[in-house]
């Protein structure tokens, strides 16, 4: 098994959102040119040591990739074109994460010319007051303007929306979804707020200054999003993701199907040769690294890979393929996890189809509880 996907991390932002814990720094005065040089070195070395026969997806994330200026964006596109695009074919999905207020028509042109065919916009909300409350710098009018411009060049556009935000109401959630559906989009990713350590929101919460919705209200928000998005023509294919037919995120499916992938850039993660790797995160240390900039490596046992297959695969609406599981691990799904499955079936949290084991509608809101049931439960001789 060789990597099917490549993730490329650009850790620069023009503004830090209050909920974000990704590896990122303020763009001003950062050694962007040196970082891009180091990124190219890492890609070259990795492909020499861990070659692949074909890449199906490339995803440039951050940080904020579109925080790069036009010249820097062109340099990034040139690196990808030189080293990664030759490993792909015409079926490639090539995505760049973008901010609604950080991408000029010139940058969109550079991305299009560089082979990008999918753009994902971090919208989060269309409520200007809520956007300000969570530390976003764009406003509703800018989203429409930017997506209309992007739609002149790309026919595969995704937006991210958030729920469970401070003081957010059901009416705001419904408006966000309905407003998104009026835009030229093919995909929505919908995430609840998670309080990550060391973020502004985590600090505010510890001080009792973060008025979050109750768990019951957040669950209502999730149900409302599902109903409204599907009524708008996008179908749920994963716990947090919805798309038009054929526009599912192929890159994310690589993660959910527990297949291998490259992770390039400071603080990025990869999964190669049944080993999970994390890169050096501080940018100066990443730039100065000799050889591959890997901070740590964690080889996975067969049992650990089987457990990951379950809690990643069950995120998808179709669930885990019974046949593929046996082909991949040389053991029947029931032989490995029969006791766990038998325990979950009567509770109505999972169900079998002819080909898959999947979450039920009742199991989706309790997905984390279901996933935990598979940890440490594999029965392997």
* Residue 217, pLDDT score: 96
pLDDT higher than 80, residue 192: yes
* Helices 140-151 and 105-113: angle between axes, nearest 10 degrees: 40
- Output 106 or 206, whichever has higher pLDDT: 106
381 pLDDT band, cuts 50/70/90, is: low
pLDDT higher than 80, residue 23: no
* Residue 96, pLDDT score: 98
Distance from C-alpha of 166 to C-alpha of 61, rounded to nearest angstrom:
26
197 pLDDT band, cuts 50/70/90, is: confident
* Residue 24, pLDDT score: 72
At 175-188, the pLDDT tens digits run 999 999 999 999 99
- Please state, rounded to an integer, the average pLDDT across all residues of the chain: 94
- Output 113 or 365, whichever has higher pLDDT: 113
Q: What is the mean pLDDT of residues 39-53?
A: 97
pLDDT higher than 80, residue 288: yes
pLDDT higher than 80, residue 21: no
* Residue 13, pLDDT score: 86
* Residue 102, pLDDT score: 82
Q: What is the mean pLDDT of residues 309-317?
A: 97
At 206-263, the pLDDT tens digits run 899 889 999 999 999 999 999 999 999 999 999 999 999 999 999 999 999 999 999 9
* pTM score of the predicted model: 0.95
* Residue 369, pLDDT score: 94
Beta bridge partners of 190: 161
Q: What is the mean pLDDT of residues 4-26?
A: 83
- Output 1 or 169, whichever has higher pLDDT: 169
* Residue 291, pLDDT score: 95
- Ordered structural domains, the chain, with CATH: 5-255 (3.80.30.20), 302-373 (1.10.10.920)
Distance from C-alpha of 347 to C-alpha of 206, rounded to nearest angstrom:
36
């Amino acid at each position: 098994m060789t990597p099917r996907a490549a993730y490329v991390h650009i850790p620069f932002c023009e503004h830090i959102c209050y909920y974000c814990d990704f590896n990122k720094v303020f763009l001003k005065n950062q050694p962007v040119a040196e970082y891009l040089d180091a990124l190219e070195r890492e890609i070259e070395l990795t492909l020499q040591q861990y070659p692949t026969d074909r890449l199906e997806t490339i995803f440039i994330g951050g940080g904020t990739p579109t925080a790069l200026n036009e010249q820097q964006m062109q340099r990034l596109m040139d690196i990808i074109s030189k080293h990664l695009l030759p490993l792909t074919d015409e079926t490639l999905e090539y995505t760049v994460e973008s901010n609604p207020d950080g991408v000029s028509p010139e940058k969109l042109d550079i991305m299009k010319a560089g082979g990008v065919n999918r753009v994902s916009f971090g919208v989060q909300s269309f409520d200007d007051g809520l956007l300000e409350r969570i530390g976003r710098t764009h406003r509703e009018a800018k989203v429409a303007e930017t997506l209309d411009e992007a739609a002149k060049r790309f026919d595969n556009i995704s937006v991210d929306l958030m729920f469970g935000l401070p003081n957010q109401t059901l009416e705001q959630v419904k408006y966000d979804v309905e407003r998104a559906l009026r835009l030229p989009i093919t995909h929505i990713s919908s995430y609840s707020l998670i309080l990550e350590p060391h973020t502004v929101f985590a600090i505010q919460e510890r001080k009792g200054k973060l008025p979050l919705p109750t768990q019951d209200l957040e669950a209502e928000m999730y149900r409302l999003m599902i109903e409204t998005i599907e009524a708008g023509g996008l179908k749920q294919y994963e716990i947090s993701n919805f798309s038009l037919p054929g526009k599912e995120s192929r890159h994310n499916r690589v993660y959910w199907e527990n297949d291998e992938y490259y992770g390039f850039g400071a603080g990025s993660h990869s999964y190669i040769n049944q080993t999970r790797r994390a890169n050096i995160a501080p940018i100066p240390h990443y730039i100065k690294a000799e050889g591959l900039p890997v901070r740590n490596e964690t080889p996975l046992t067969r049992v650990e890979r089987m457990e990951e297959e379950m809690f990643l695969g069950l995120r998808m609406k179709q669930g885990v393929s019974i046949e593929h599981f046996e082909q991949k691990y040389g053991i029947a799904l029931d032989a490995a996890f029969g006791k766990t499955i038998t325990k979950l079936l009567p509770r109505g949290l999972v169900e079998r189809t002819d080909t898959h084991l999947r979450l039920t509608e009742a199991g989706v809101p309790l997905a984390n509880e279901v996933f935990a049931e598979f940890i440490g439960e594999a029965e392997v001789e």
